């Protein structure tokens, strides 16, 4: 029988980073499993109800901060990041400035990132298992990306991939914040990376720009006010108080990232799967609203957007149409949907119609204006 081959842990981490880069990860770091420093903040956030209707957040509770309980045997976590801003997409600010267009959060323009990152993490695990063959180390692992009760930002911080910005997202001096995070929980005792110092300073740009005031403290977001939560996670009626502030954002919101100075250093993604599909980087609202459920399911196949379902998709577009300048075509499209609308959709369509009609020009004043001009007055 051959003797086990020794393996230097530092060399192994260097090898893991190299493999990660080959698989498209723009950052790879190592964290241990001690996240106890994050538990008080998590409990406070839950106690204040900032998780909204995401009851699974409360159900999992402190499990999010205890990786070794989530996956018994976990010793180290390989944390990764992957850039997602597509190079050929329409300029976000230009889309937001056109009320007849719909704004889709840049992370959702292409293929569902859950699938992309999980497949790459699986490949990394396969390569690592092969690397360990004959060393006496049997790899045990679980791969995650926004798919389990994991404090991803906290893990990534500990792994040295960046710091938690005031908007609660991870920030990197080299990559800004336009990236996804993923984790590979392992039973390997690997040397951990050192956290990086935060570099937000006195900047409050993300707090100031938030359309609904959802960033209630440094690094704390009240999901109940967040447009991403309202348009994606919320299953029911969007509170009237936030509908005008949503503007033309039909899936998510990137305002806090668009204004962040560190995103000057963000890089476009080379990942083909993240390129915009079906013109979602600059879509016409009326064209989207004209889709039926079959078209939605077909065109959103493989997209993170499909998860919210056709009803919520229509709900969000109805609000955006209500916020657009008055247009008889918009009024007609909204009225045409009323007959077969669910109670939830009907409520939002009726609100949108009321908003449109409130901005309808006063036609009765037109003859007087013309007459006055004709008479030389």
pTM assigned to the model: 0.92
Beta-carbon contacts of 328 under 8 Å, excluding residues fewer than 6 positions away, are none
Q: Categorize the per-residue pLDDT at 370 as very low, low, confident or very high, splitting at 50, 70 and 90.
A: very low
Q: Is the pLDDT of residue 84 over 50?
A: yes
What angle do helix axes 328-338 and 309-323 make, rounded to 10 degrees? 150
Instruction: Reply yes or no on whether the pLDDT at 147 is more than 90.
Output: no
Contacts with 375 (C-beta within 8 Å, 6 or more apart), sequence order: none
| Residue 6 pLDDT class (50, 70, 90 cuts) | low
Q: Which of 146, 218, 292, 374 is catalytic?
A: 146
Dump pLDDT digits (tens) for 9-55. Answer: 999 999 999 999 999 999 999 999 999 999 999 999 999 999 999 99
- Active-site residue flag, 146: yes
- What is the rounded CA–CA span in Å between residue 343 and residue 334? 14
Of 146 and 180, which is predicted with more confidence? 180
Whether residue 128 is predicted with pLDDT greater than 50 in this model: the reply is: yes
Q: Rounded to an integer, what is the distance from CA 376 to the centroid of its chain?
A: 59
141-173 burial string, b = 16+ CB within 10 Å, else e?
A: bbbbbeebbbbbbbbbbbbbbbbbbbbbbbbbe
């Amino acid at each position: 029988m051959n003797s086990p081959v020794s393996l230097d842990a530092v060399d192994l981490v260097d090898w893991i980073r190299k493999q990660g880069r080959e698989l498209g990860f723009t950052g790879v770091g190592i964290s241990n499993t001690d996240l106890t420093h994050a538990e008080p903040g998590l409990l406070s956030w839950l106690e204040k109800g900032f998780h909204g209707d995401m009851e699974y957040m409360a159900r999992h509770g402190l499990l999010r901060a205890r990786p070794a309980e989530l996956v018994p045997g976990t010793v180290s976590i390989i944390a990764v990041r992957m850039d997602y801003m597509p190079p050929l997409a329409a300029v976000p600010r230009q889309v937001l400035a056109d009320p007849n267009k719909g704004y889709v959060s840049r992370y959702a323009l292409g293929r569902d990132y859950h699938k992309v990152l999980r497949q790459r993490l699986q490949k990394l695990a396969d390569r690592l298992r092969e690397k360990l063959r004959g060393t006496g180390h049997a790899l045990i692992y679980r791969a995650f990306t926004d798919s389990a009760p994991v404090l991803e930002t906290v893990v990534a911080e500990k792994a040295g991939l960046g710091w938690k910005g005031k908007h609660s997202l991870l920030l990197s001096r080299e990559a800004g914040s336009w990236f996804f995070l993923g984790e590979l929980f392992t039973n390997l005792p690997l040397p951990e990376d050192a956290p990086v110092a935060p570099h937000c300073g006195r900047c409050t740009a993300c707090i100031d720009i938030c359309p609904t005031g959802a960033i209630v403290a440094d690094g704390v977001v009240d999901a109940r006010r967040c447009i991403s939560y309202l348009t994606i996670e919320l299953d029911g009626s969007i509170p009237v108080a936030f509908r005008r502030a949503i503007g033309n954002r039909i899936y998510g919101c990137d305002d806090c990232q668009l204004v962040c100075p560190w995103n000057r250093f963000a890089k476009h993604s080379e990942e083909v799967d993240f390129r915009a599909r079906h013109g979602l980087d600059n879509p016409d609202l009326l064209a989207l609203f004209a889709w039926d459920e079959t078209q939605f399911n077909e065109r959103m196949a493989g997209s993170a957007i499909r998860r919210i379902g056709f009803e919520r998709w229509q709900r969000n577009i109805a609000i955006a149409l209500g916020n657009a300048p008055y247009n008889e075509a918009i009024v007609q499209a909204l009225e045409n949907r009323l007959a077969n609308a669910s109670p939830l959709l009907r409520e939002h369509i009726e609100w949108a119609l009321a908003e449109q009609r409130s901005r309808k020009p006063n036609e009765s004043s037109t003859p007087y204006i013309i007459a006055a001009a004709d008479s030389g007055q």
